[in-house]
Chains A and B, each alone.
Chain A
Amino acid sequence: MLSGFRALDLTNEKGFLCGKILAGLGADVIKIERPGGDPARNIGPFYHGIVDPERSLYWFSYNSSKRGITLNIEAEEGKQLFMKLVSQADFIIESSPPGYMDRLGLGYEELSKVNPKIIVTSITPFGQTGPYKCYEASDISIMAMSGLMSTTGDSNRPPLRLGLDMSYCLAGAHAAVGTMFALHHRQISGEGQHVDVSMYECLFVANYREPVMWEYEKRLMTRMGNRFSRGESSTQQVWQCKDGYVTWTLIDQPEMLKAIVECMDEEGMAGALKSVDWGAIHISRLSEQQTKQWEKLIAAFFLKHTKKELQQLSLQRNLTLSVINEVRDVAESEHLACRGYWRDLEHPELGTSITSPGFLFLSSETQSRERFRAPLIGEHNEQIYEKELCLSKQQIANLKNVNAI
């Protein structure tokens, strides 16, 4: 869908996903790393546990389908080479601290002189301006500030972070949106622009309705672990089953509640639930005691069955239950296999291929597939510098000498 477009990707781990999304859509995304490789190559997990910049599964995950070159934009010669690349590019994606690119003379104003069509997407923790613009951030620290953590976790323990680096992924996804919007505008107007993405704001707007709960009712949601707040009481969301966990909750859907009670009754486990008229009650008006009584019966039923059984039952009888999948369950999912989700990406340097998520979405017309594995350090230096930019071997040797590439 985006073949013919080229992106220069200067990001660190806080912005990888943006370029990966564009690359998966067919754009030629060139990952630019400093000579020696990006520090993010030290983030694990590692292939076979070998801590090595060419073995980082984290790097593989978020940089697939990108080509890779080394370039030192702080060196004068590196800067010039960068400008050459910019003149032939559509997008620049970068995640350096605010002011860094400007100080190098590579800010948006300068770059747009070289290429008025260039779209520069900057991803930073807090944005290019504002009192926190120079704050350092890590996934956990920015998630803490965003409001997302204050409602996540148990009441008797610290607030919890969501698994893996979700704030980086969210910022990357928003950055891809911004880049595409700027592209749309450019095709009508002919002009590029600067897109300033703030990870903090991406997280803040991901707060579901907590902001309006405060604005309208001055109510703050508190951490309730796996219980779901409901008016007078709360309902359980996560249940143990025979071989793991499922998620389900008492919700005002009389048809569904009738259905689950029927399922329980077929095994003689419905108990007091059998006589409840679900159309006549409101879950949010039940007492804590009543809710817990009913949940005890339901818990016993779930404990008797496996994840697979409960998922099947839910599909057949519309119970709105979901298995809580472990990594293995997802990897071996029949559903994802049918969808052709997983793709083996060749790693000739490792003598193997690694199965990876294969696409972002399905389409009737085009493919959004992962095409090849993440690049090795400087893997495409020759291809891009010699063949595409037509630099001579001597010029390349000189550039290496001054540590420009």
Chain B
Amino acid sequence: MNKLALDGLKVLDFGWVGAGPLATKDLADNGATVIKIESTKRLDLTRRSPPFKDGIIDANHAGFFVWTNSSKYSVTLNLHHPQGVNVAKRLVSWGDVVLENLGCGFMDRIGLSYEELKKIKLDIIMVSVSIMGRTGPYANFKGYGSSGAAQSGHAFLTGWTDRDPLLSPIAFSDAITPRIAVVATMAALQYKNRTGKGQYIDVSQVETMAQCLAPAFLNYFANGHEDTRIGNRSPCAAPHGVFPCKGEDNWCAIAVLNDLQWRSFCNVIGRPDLLENPKFMTIMDRKNNEDELEEAVEEWTGNRTREQVMTTLQGVGIPAGMVQDQKDLAMDPQLKHRQTSVKLQHPVIGLCGHAAPPMKFSKTPAQVRAAPCLGEHNYHVYTQLLGMSDEEFVSLQNSGVFD
């Protein structure tokens, strides 16, 4: 078996749903030993949500969990049992990193605050992911991934000019923030290598999103200008949008980014007359007459399939991409080539899709392993990694500590 980038790294995953588990998934897929702490008494939302394999509503038939938790070990541990926290502490003494995105104060309340963890392992690295951060007047804020979009300003900046802000079903901060949490974890490990010190890291979804939205904030602070929604248009490019193609609900996005591309565009769609039209001469002109411009584009795209639009424009170096849904993506040749979704044998579900890391390492290619069943690794983790005897394991199990 190949070496992996994070061989030897030991991580405890106290995460749930999205942001936390996606962060530890990145680590696990690249070789870290990630132990997900679960409980039969408190199932992760992703183990309770559809889709379920064959419609069987069961923690081990949940596709969403599989997609989010590849390559991890799963143990069940009842953190509300008096001895449960003791076992958790033993796991901490095994681990290098503890990552959590549970409700505000939860880790503190059960006796696993950073201060407590330091007593077990002075150089422990603890990473906490939340919507608003763990300090400040809104630290108690309860929310879901889309709260990140709402709080950060992203939702307000998404949508049509003449309609309400759009809260996308894609909780985008659930995509960005885990990666920042991972970078923070890796940087903390670097720091530990140099200084021997651990640390507590507090990652806020709103703060990481706001970094991505920085141009809007600089526009406000430097210019007093408040950005608002612009639909699919762009302040510095035209045509720029999503255009209807032949067939029901078929679209292609087109972005003509400069005058050179505009020239190629007009020629390839057979409209050199547009180049002579003073309404469309410069980017400013095109922006000033954008409605009319878009009509001209639609006249062309409406008579062609989205594939034709995309390949014709790509053929002359114009960024064009057809709108694809999951049916299309399941057959996408690029994703197939890159093996972005890999079919692995899951103990209960059988062969099913797991998301692979969206990057390739030349020397340490990632190895995605099947997502775990609930408590699948109890015996291995508690007896092999923690060194419990069989007697102790059985005794704790009978007392409900591993519920």
Interface residues of A (CB under 8 A from B): 1-2, 4, 17, 21, 25, 42-45, 47-49, 57-58, 60-62, 108, 126-133, 135-154, 157-164, 166, 169-170, 173-178, 180-185, 187-189, 191, 193-198, 200-202, 204-217, 219-221, 224-226, 228-229, 237-238, 240, 245-247, 315, 318, 320, 322-331, 334-336, 338-339, 341, 352, 354-357, 359-366, 368
Contact = CB atoms under 8 A, between A and B. Distances in A.
Contact of A211 (B141, B184, B218, B355): B355
A368 B235 contact: no
Interface stretch (B36-44, B50-58, B373-381, B393-401): B50-58
Contact of A164 (B216, B223, B352): B216
Contacts of A173: 176, 179-180, 183
A149 B9 CA distance: 36
Contacts of B168: 148, 151-152, 160, 162
Most buried by B among A188, A213, A357: A357
Q: What is the predominant secondary structure among interface residues of chain A facing chain B? A: mixed
Contact of A151 (B170, B212, B216, B221): B170
Interface string B316-344: 01111111111111100111011011000
B179 A174 contact: yes
A144 B242 contact: yes
Contacts of A201: 335, 338, 340, 358-359
B241 A140 contact: yes
Given A144-B324, A158-B242, A212 B67 contact: yes
Contact of B64 (A129, A163, A212, A219): A212
Nearest to A341: B207
Interface residues of B, number: 152
B221 A362 contact: no
B235 A44 contact: yes
Given A131-B334, A160-B166, A209 B51 contact: yes
18 contacts: A57-B222, A58-B215, A61-B214, A140-B255, A145-B321, A145-B324, A159-B251, A177-B186, A196-B360, A202-B358, A212-B63, A214-B326, A214-B327, A215-B51, A224-B169, A247-B150, A355-B217, A363-B184
Contacts, number: 485
Nearest to A224: B169
Interface string B140-175: 111111110011111111111001111111111011
A223 B355 CA distance: 23
B8 to A, nearest CB: 7
Contacts of A126: 334
Contacts of B135: 338-339, 362
A138 B132 contact: no
B290 interface: no
A403 to B, nearest CB: 22
Contacts of B229: 163
Contacts of B183: 21, 25, 173, 176-177, 180, 360
Contacts of B142: 318, 320
B283 to A, nearest CB: 10
A2 B189 CA distance: 10
Given A140-B242, A208-B170, A178 B151 contact: no
B271 interface: no
Contact of A136 (B5, B144, B242, B317): B317
Nearest to A120: B362
B330 A209 contact: no
A210 to B, nearest CB: 5
Given A21-B183, A173-B176, A363-B200, A182 B326 contact: no
A191 B363 contact: yes
A211 to B, nearest CB: 6
A191 B5 CA distance: 11
A179 B2 CA distance: 19
Nearest to A214: B326
Contacts of A334: 137
B225 interface: yes
Contact of A45 (B141, B219, B255): B219
Nearest to B235: A44
Given A131-B333, A216-B52, A183 B190 contact: yes
B89 to A, nearest CB: 20
Contact of A357 (B191, B210, B330, B352): B210
Contacts of B214: 61-62, 356-357
Contacts of B7: 188
B235 A215 contact: no
Contact of B152 (A137, A220, A325, A368): A325
B164 A238 contact: yes
A147 B143 contact: no
Interface in B182-205: 182-184, 186-191, 193-194, 197-204
A67 to B, nearest CB: 19
B49 interface: yes
B354 to A, nearest CB: 10
Contact of A322 (B133, B150, B190): B150
Nearest to A175: B359
B325 A152 contact: no
A237 B395 CA distance: 48
B101 interface: no
A57 B155 contact: no
B60 interface: no
- Which of A177, A205, A246, A339 has the largest count of B CB atoms less than 10 A from its CB? A177
A144 B243 CA distance: 11
A207 B325 CA distance: 10
Contacts of B151: 322-323, 325, 330
Contacts of A207: 170, 326
Given A169-B176, A359-B207, A238 B251 contact: no
Most buried by A among B158, B171, B212, B234: B212
B106 interface: no
Contacts of A237: 146, 167
B12 to A, nearest CB: 18
A152 B182 contact: no
B50 A217 contact: yes
A21 B186 CA distance: 12
